[in-house]
Structure 1
Amino acid sequence: MPHTALLQPSSWSTADQLQPTPAPAVHDWLFNEDSLTRRLTALSADAFSVTPLNEGWDTLRSDECAALGVAEGSQGWVREVYLRGHGEPWVFARSVAARSALEGSGLALDQLGSHSLGELLFSDRAFDRGALQACHYPAAWLPAAVRTDGLWARRSCFSRGPLGVLVAEVFLPAFWPAAGIQG
């Protein structure tokens, strides 16, 4: 299998660039600017949870370096989790921040555990959210247990001064029926 740093998504696109345009209900989940954590909590009638998969310092992917405006091959904090509804993995989330900006920022990503990063970012008014982008996420970038081609993903960068936290969220197959949307 090729090294994941070499793989690129078809392209991350903003809502007005995305072609073909997904169904309106899918488009709403991809480009809604509200907290995804809050929307999933409501959809699951408060049966929402976060399961950390792995986190730590690692080399960021090329697309992540470009989005964060750091040099190719930069080190960063990488956090991968499942966002679950009723125990089912609905969303795979990968959040990254460049080491150069994270160290000394006061943001303790390593202490989140099973808490939602989204809640932290949305509750801190110092963070500004950049434009939402979407793509079909490369299957090779997903955990083996949910590796599927063609899954919709979205990402945005939350910034506070020099710190950028890039958050990518991939909607897994179990999510769409739970949301009442045809797959």
Structure 2
Amino acid sequence: MPHTNSIFPTLQWLPQPLLSPRPDACALDWLFDEGSLTRRLTRLSNDHFSVTPLFEGWQPLRADECTALDLAEGSEGWVREVYLRGHGQPWVFARSVAARSALQGDGLQMDELGSRSLGELLFCDRAFQRRAIEVCHYPEAWLPADVRARELWGRRSRFDRGALSVLVAEVFLPRLWSVARAYSENC
């Protein structure tokens, strides 16, 4: 079941300079990496990367999503929630949304991605421009039940192509940190 409840109206997504308390250096490196997360996870997993769709469909967007997409509160959009997995383990929970009005007639078929990575599609289409990355401690209640934990770092950014904007949020799960710290020179 998707997580649409706006029970955290004061949730603040922040740019790197305003973070307090600051994440450790490893988390900062992952949170503010402007490259493709799909590619980075593929490298870290030695090509044992996969995407598992959890939910895809039309629904009212959360208040913070509407604000980020410059939409009226309660606007309907396409919601896609997935796990990004390494070696079969969920490393990242991702939620991507786009307004119904912008998707219709644009040609981006978010409903046909299946187990393909949306991020890879966004990075391969040079017409998409990525806006600034914002981060927060992602609300535990918005996570799937099997990965719920307190104070997990999440990031989001908006990708624009003409009238279409896609908001992509990625929450880094504990299993990713254990692997990243074991195999990365930045952690």
Q: TM-score, normalised by structure 2?
A: 0.93
> Runs of 5+ in structure 1 lacking a partner?
none
Structure 2 residue aligned with 1:132: 133
Q: Compute the displacement of 1:79 (Å).
A: 0.1
In 1, Cα distance between equivalents of 2:70 and 2:181: 38
> Runs of 5+ in structure 2 lacking a partner?
none
Structure 2 residue aligned with 1:69: 70
Secondary structure at the counterpart of residue 165 of structure 1: strand
After TM superposition, the structure 1 = structure 2 runs for residues 16-55 of structure 1, keeping only pairs within 5 Å, are 16-55=17-56
Q: Compute the displacement of 1:8 (Å).
A: 3.8
- 1:155-178: CA deviation from partner (whole Å, max 9, x where unpaired): 000000111000000001111001
The one-letter amino acid paired with 2:19 is L
In 1, Cα distance between equivalents of 2:118 and 2:176: 19
Percentage of identical aligned residues: 64
Secondary structure at the counterpart of residue 120 of structure 1: helix
- Asked if structure 2 preserves the Cα contact closer than 8 Å seen for 1:137 and 1:153, the reply is yes
In 2, Cα distance between equivalents of 1:80 and 1:151: 17
Secondary structure at the counterpart of residue 39 of structure 2: helix
Q: How many pairs were matched up? A: 180
Q: Compute the displacement of 1:92 (Å).
A: 0.2
Change (3 A) 1:26 1:38: same
Change (3 A) 1:24 1:5: same
Q: Compute the displacement of 1:9 (Å).
A: 6.2
- 1:47-71: CA deviation from partner (whole Å, max 9, x where unpaired): 0000000100010000000000000
RMSD: 1.4
Secondary structure at the counterpart of residue 66 of structure 1: helix
Any runs of at least 4 consecutive aligned residues in structure 1 with deviations exceeding 4 A, and if so which?
Answer: none
Q: TM-score, normalised by structure 1?
A: 0.95
- Asked if structure 2 preserves the Cα contact closer than 8 Å seen for 1:9 and 1:135, the reply is no
Structure 2 residue aligned with 1:80: 81
In 1, Cα distance between equivalents of 2:24 and 2:7: 30
Structure 2 residue aligned with 1:108: 109
- 1:95-145: CA deviation from partner (whole Å, max 9, x where unpaired): 000001111111000000000000000000000000000000000100111
